[in-house]
Structure 1
Amino acid sequence: MFCTSWAGNQFSPLLLLYQERQHYSTAAVNGFLGVYVLGLVPAFLLSGALSDRYGRRPVMFAGVAAAVAASTALAFGESGAVMICVGRFLAGVTVGTATCVGTAWMKELSQWPHDPAADTGAGARRATLAFSLGSALGAVVAGLIAQWGPWPEQLPFLIHAAVTLPFAWLVLRAPETARVGVPGRLRERLRVPAAGHRRFTRVVLVSGPWVFAASAIGYGYLPVLLAEATRGWGIAYATLLTAVALVSSSLVQPLAKHVDTKDSARGTLAGLLLIVAGLGLVVAADVLQSWPLGIAAAAVAGAGMGTAMVSGLLEVQRIAAPQDLAGLTGVYYAVSYLGFASPALLAAVAAGTGTAAAVGLLAVAGLGIGCALVLAVNYRRHLPR
C-alpha cells in the first residue's frame, strides 16, 4: 500500500515541470489528471469484488505490478502524451486496487489468528498510515528531484519502480484471507447491500468527499493560488505543502482512534471540522498571499484528512459483513476521491465568473459547515433497516 500510494502521488509536483519543459497547456495537464480517474474508479468498483471471488493476494499482486508499469511508462513521458496517459491510467488502477483490496486485507490481517494482539482499529490505522506516508514520500522525492535534481522527468519514476519491485514478491508470501472459491457470479458480487445502511448513507457518504477535498485544496490548489508569493521555488513549495499535509495526517492517526467511537459520529465530525478550519486558513493565505500561512493551512487540512479517513474506514468496517468488506471499502474510496475534483471546479468557476478564488473557497467552507450540521443531527449510531 505504501508503494502503490507513492505511485499515485508522485506525479502531482511535476505538473509545473511538464508545462515548463514540454510546453503542455494547462488544459492538457488537467487532462493527465483526468486520465488518472479513469483508471481509479473502475479499480475501486471492480477490485473488491474480484478479490472476494479470487482472493486478496492475486488482485493485490496485479495492483503492485500496475505500479511498476505506471512508473515505467511515465519514465518515457518525453516520448509524448500517450505514454503519460498510459502511466497515469495505470497509476489510477494501482491506487484504486491498493486502497480497496489492500485496506480490506490489512484489516483481516490485523486480527485473530494473524495478529491476536492488534486492537479493533489497528487495520484502519495501518492502512491509512501506509497510504499517507507513501503519498508523502512519492511527492517529496519527485518534487525535490524536479526542483534541484538530475533527470527530473525520468529519475523519480525509475526510483519508484526499483523500490516497488521487491514488494511484488512479498505480496505473494502474505497469508490469503478471502474465502476463495465461494460460488457466485461477479455481477452478484458487485452489489454491495451494506451501501444502503442508514449509517453509511447519513454519516459516511456525507463526510467521504471531504477527505480528499482537504488534500486536493490544501496541497494541490493552494500552490497555484500562491504562485506569485513563491515565484522561483514553486515546485519546492508545492512539495513542502504535500509533505506537511500528509505527515500531519499520519501523526494524527494514532490520536484519531481515541476520538472515534462506535456509539457516535464523533471522530468523523471532528475530522470534518478540522478540514473546514483548514479551508478557512487557505482563504486567509490566498487573500494575504502568505506562504507561511499556507503551511499552517496544509497542516490543519492534513490533520482533518487523517482523522476523517481513519474514522470513515472504522465506520465502514463496523457496517460491512465479511463478504461486503472489500466492496464497501471500494464504494467509500470512490466517494472520497470525488473530492479531488474540487480544485478543477473552483478554478473553472473562478475563470467563468471572474470571481476571486477566495470567494469560491468560502462557499466550499460554508458547504462543509452544512455537512458538519448533518453529521451532528445524525450523531448517534443508527441501526440497519
Structure 2
Amino acid sequence: MTTQTPIRQTPTDIAAKQWWGVAAAMFAIAWGGNEFTPLLVMYKNHGLPVTTVDLLLFYYVLGIVPALLIGGPLSDRYGRRVVLRPAPFISAAGSLLLAFGATSVPMMSAGRVLCGIALGLAMAVGSSWLKELSQPPFGAAAPSGTGARRSAMSLTGGFAVGAGSAGLLAQWAPWPNTLAYLINVTLCLCAALWVARAPETVIPQANPGRLLDDLTIPAAKHRRFRRVALPVALWLFTSAGTAYAIMPTLMAPHIHGAPIAFSAFVGVLTLSCGFAIQSVARRIDKPGTARAAVVSLVFSTVGMAMAAWAAGALTLVATLATAVVLGCGYGIGLVAGLQEIERIARPDDLAGLTAVFYSVSYLGFGVPALLSFLNQRFDVDYPSMFACCALAAAACLALVARNYRSKISGE
C-alpha cells in the first residue's frame, strides 16, 4: 500500500491567492449593485412612474460618489482592510431593504444608497488593494496593469452575473421581488469572511493630519488625467446604462411573455462583451499613447449612433447589436482608465485618483432619468437624444485623439 505525500502550498502559492478575497468582495458587492437594473421593467410594470424608477437607479450614485471620494483617502490613512471590511455588510443591508421594501419608494431609495456606498468603497479601496496584492511583496511579479484588469473583471463579472440572475429569478422563480436580493445577502456575508483574511498592504499613519487635506488629490490636475482618463470615464456607464437600462424599457412593449428576462439578457450581453474584451485590453493598450482610450471612445460613439437607430427601429437585432458595441466600449474604457491611473498616480494618490475617475464615470447612471424627463416633459424623442449623445462622444474622442501621445510626467 502506497501513501501519497500531501501537496503543500508554498509561500509563493499562498501569496498568489491573497487577492482572491478582495476580488470576491468586489464581485459580490457589484452583484448587489446591479441586480436592481434588470428589474426596472418589473417595477415599471407594477405601476411605478418611469421617472421614479429611473431616479431609483440614480440614487445609487448618491451613495457611490461620497464613498468613493472619502473611502480612498481613509484607506490611505488607516489601511485598506479596515475601510473595505464593512462594505459587504453595507451591501447586504441595502439588499435587505430592497427585498422587503418593494412597495415603499423611501425604503428602496435607502437600499439603493446603501448599495451605492458599498460599491463606492469596493471600487476606490478594492481597486487599490488589488493592485497592491498583485505585485511583490504580496504577490508574484506580474505584467503591468494586472491589478487594473483583475479589478475591472471582478466588478464587471459581478455586474453581469447579478443582472442575469436577478432577471431570471424575477421572471420565473417564486418571490420575484425578494429572492434575488436574499441570495446577494448570502453572497455578501460569505465574501465578508473571505476578505477579512486578505493581508493589509498599507501601514496606518501614526500621526495623520487633517482629513480635509487628504481629500485634495493633486494628481487629478494632471493633464493626461483630465484629457484622456476623464473623457473615457464620462462614457463608461453612460454606454452601459443606455444598453441595459434604457433600451429594454423601450423594447418592453414589443417583448411578449418575458420582458424582465429580456432585460436581464440585454444586461448580461452588454457586460459579458465588456468582460470578454477586458481580457484583450492589454494588447490594445500601448503605454505612452492613448490607444485603448481612443478605441473605447470609438465604440461608444458608434454605439450611441446605433442606439439612435435602435430606438427608432425597436427591433430585437438592433437592440442586441447596440448592446454588444456599447458593452465593448465600456469594457475597454474601464481598463484603459484604470491603467492610465496606475501610470499617473503616486502610491499615496492611487486610491484618491481612482475615486475621482469612478465618481465621474457613475454620473452616467443619471442619463436614463435625464432622458426620461426630457421625453415626458418636453416630448423629445429618444432617437434625437441618442444622436446628440453620439455627437458628444465624438467630441470626447477628438479631445483624446489630440492628446494621443501625452507624457505621463507632464502636468
The normalised TM-score by structure 1 is 0.96
Partner residue of 2:117 out of 93, 113, 125? 93
Higher mean C-alpha deviation, range 164-173 or range 126-135 = 164-173
1:63 has 2:83 as partner: no
1:363 has 2:388 as partner: yes
Q: CA deviation at 1:116?
A: 2.1
Distance 2:72 2:391 in 1: 34
1:103 has 2:139 as partner: no
Partner residue of 2:75 out of 32, 51, 61? 51
Which string of whole-angstrom CA distances, capped at 9 and with x for unpartnered residues, describes residues 247-275 of structure 1?
10110012111111221111001011011
Structure 2 letter corresponding to 1:335? V
The match for 1:73 is: 97
The match for 1:279 is: 304
Q: CA deviation at 1:225?
A: 2.1
Which string of whole-angstrom CA distances, capped at 9 and with x for unpartnered residues, describes residues 325-356 of structure 1?
00000000001111122222222223343232
Distance 2:86 2:77 in 1: 15
1:341 has 2:341 as partner: no
Partner residue of 2:397 out of 356, 364, 372? 372
Q: Compared with structure 1, are the counterparts of its residues 47 and 212 closer, same or farther at alpha carbon in structure 2 (3 Å cutoff)? A: same
Distance 1:80 1:358 in 2: 33
- 1:111-130 mapped onto 2 (5 Å cutoff): 111-130=135-154
Structure 2 letter corresponding to 1:314? Q
Partner residue of 2:159 out of 112, 125, 135? 135
Higher mean C-alpha deviation, range 103-112 or range 35-44 = 35-44
Q: CA deviation at 1:211?
A: 0.9
The match for 1:5 is: 30
Structure 1 letter corresponding to 2:157? L
Does the 8 Å CA contact 2:41/2:263 hold for their aligned counterparts?
no
Identity fraction in percent: 40
Distance 2:168 2:141 in 1: 39
Q: Over aligned residue pairs, what C-alpha RMSD do you find?
A: 1.4
Partner residue of 1:37 out of 48, 56, 61? 61
The match for 2:15 is: none
Which string of whole-angstrom CA distances, capped at 9 and with x for unpartnered residues, describes residues 252-302 of structure 1?
012111111221111001011011122222222222221122111111111
- 1:148-159 mapped onto 2 (5 Å cutoff): 148-159=172-183
Structure 1 letter corresponding to 2:345? A
Runs of 4+ in 1 over 3 A off after TM superposition: none
Does the 8 Å CA contact 2:40/2:245 hold for their aligned counterparts?
no
Task: Compare CA radii of gyration and give the structure with the larger one.
Answer: 2
Does the 8 Å CA contact 1:106/1:126 hold for their aligned counterparts?
yes
Structure 2: where are the runs of 5+ without partners?
1-25
Does the 8 Å CA contact 1:346/1:361 hold for their aligned counterparts?
no
The match for 2:224 is: 199
Give the paired residue count: 384
Q: Compared with structure 1, are the counterparts of its residues 332 and 50 closer, same or farther at alpha carbon in structure 2 (3 Å cutoff)? A: same
Where 1:184 maps in the other structure, the secondary structure is: coil
Which string of whole-angstrom CA distances, capped at 9 and with x for unpartnered residues, describes residues 173-199 of structure 1?
101111212532211111101001111
Higher mean C-alpha deviation, range 313-322 or range 75-84 = 75-84
Q: CA deviation at 1:78?
A: 4.1
Q: Which has the higher helix share?
A: 1
Where 1:323 maps in the other structure, the secondary structure is: coil
Q: CA deviation at 1:79?
A: 6.1
Where 2:196 maps in the other structure, the secondary structure is: helix
Where 1:226 maps in the other structure, the secondary structure is: helix
Does the 8 Å CA contact 1:218/1:279 hold for their aligned counterparts?
no
Distance 1:134 1:258 in 2: 24
Q: CA deviation at 1:31?
A: 3.4
Q: CA deviation at 1:27?
A: 3.4
Structure 2 letter corresponding to 1:384? G
Structure 1: where are the runs of 5+ without partners?
none
Distance 1:146 1:235 in 2: 7
- 1:221-260 mapped onto 2 (5 Å cutoff): 221-260=246-285
Q: Compared with structure 1, are the counterparts of its residues 125 and 12 closer, same or farther at alpha carbon in structure 2 (3 Å cutoff)? A: same
Where 1:227 maps in the other structure, the secondary structure is: helix
Which string of whole-angstrom CA distances, capped at 9 and with x for unpartnered residues, describes residues 80-136 of structure 1?
333212211110101111011111111111111122232111100000001011001
The normalised TM-score by structure 2 is 0.90
Where 2:252 maps in the other structure, the secondary structure is: coil
